[in-house]
Structure 1
């Protein structure tokens, strides 16, 4: 099994999901080789819920690691789960070529699933 999928799967138990019951775990690797995990964190005000992917990204960035190379996403259902649109956009900010590992061993790139992202180029 892919080491990122393993790390994401281990993080599932830390998810806070009292409303949906769906646990989502994530693990990302930066260019320095450091691994960060994340889980979904639900809130009774659903708009304030945070996805596992953004939790992991924000942990990495808060420690100065902004060069995200790969990310794995898993769900408690065992079915492959893709990053939502917001997470795709956040990941795009740091590396449009991020590799995304799914639980069915499929590997995609961020550009494949978000081909027309809003980018910092619009500010130039």
Structure 2
């Protein structure tokens, strides 16, 4: 079964003065959308039948050799990592598309600073944002200004930054240095002893 991806026109948002939308070009947005739509078709969701696809656009400065993808596009597909939701007969054991994509990226060696944008799509007419668990998971590896493009089934989209989707978030930058935490724990143990 071949699925035709919609055309994702950047005219649906006000481009920045340089013609970009949150730093993403029209060509990058098109491929980001195509790849998350393609990932959605490969989702494993026999229980909920709710397909979700996610795509991660890598920053051009990334020097790792990305994992290969099977889809050729005008923008190098090697700059995109995708994921689809994977369910299990025990419902809570399933994994969301965003976490599948990010887990794949992390295993390939990508870390914070490697990602330029995220795309997410479902089969519904409304826009569907990453769930709370995925927001926190993405926050570990995304800058707060990273755009997350949410596509509906027709290819229309809205965009929010990581910081807008998870305000007052807790991320790795919030943790004090390990030495400071270890010292505080040792001081607490000494007080109890």
TM-score > 0.5, shorter chain as reference: yes
Shift, 1:88, TM fit: 0.7
Greater RCO (Cα-Cα under 8 Å, separation 6 or more):
1
Aligned to 1:9: 37
For residue 94 of structure 1, give the secondary structure of its aligned residue in structure 2. coil
- Aligned pair count reads 124
Does residue 1:50 correspond to 2:103, yes or no? Answer: no
Shift, 1:123, TM fit: 3.5
For residue 90 of structure 1, give the secondary structure of its aligned residue in structure 2. helix
User: What is the CA–CA distance in structure 2 between the aligned matches of 1:79 and 1:6, rounded to whole Å?
Assistant: 18
Runs of 4 or more off by more than 6 Å in structure 1?
A: none
User: What is the CA–CA distance in structure 1 between the aligned matches of 2:40 and 2:48, rounded to whole Å?
Assistant: 14
- Normalization by structure 1: what TM-score? 0.92
User: What is the CA–CA distance in structure 1 between the aligned matches of 2:34 and 2:125, rounded to whole Å?
Assistant: 13
Indicate if the aligned counterparts of 1:41 and 1:51 stay in contact, CA closer than 8 A.
Answer: yes
Higher fraction of strand:
1
| Structure having the higher Rg | 2
- How is 1:1-124 mapped onto 2 (pairs within 5 angstroms)? 1=8, 2-31=30-59, 32=62, 34-66=79-111, 67-95=114-142, 96-103=144-151, 104-120=156-172, 121-124=174-177
Deviations 1:21-71 (A, max 9, x none): 110001111213721010000111111110000000011111111222210
User: What is the CA–CA distance in structure 2 between the aligned matches of 1:117 and 1:97, rounded to whole Å?
Assistant: 13
For residue 123 of structure 1, give the secondary structure of its aligned residue in structure 2. coil
For residue 53 of structure 1, give the secondary structure of its aligned residue in structure 2. helix
- Normalization by structure 2: what TM-score? 0.60
Structure 2 unaligned spans of 5+: 1-7, 9-29, 63-77, 178-193
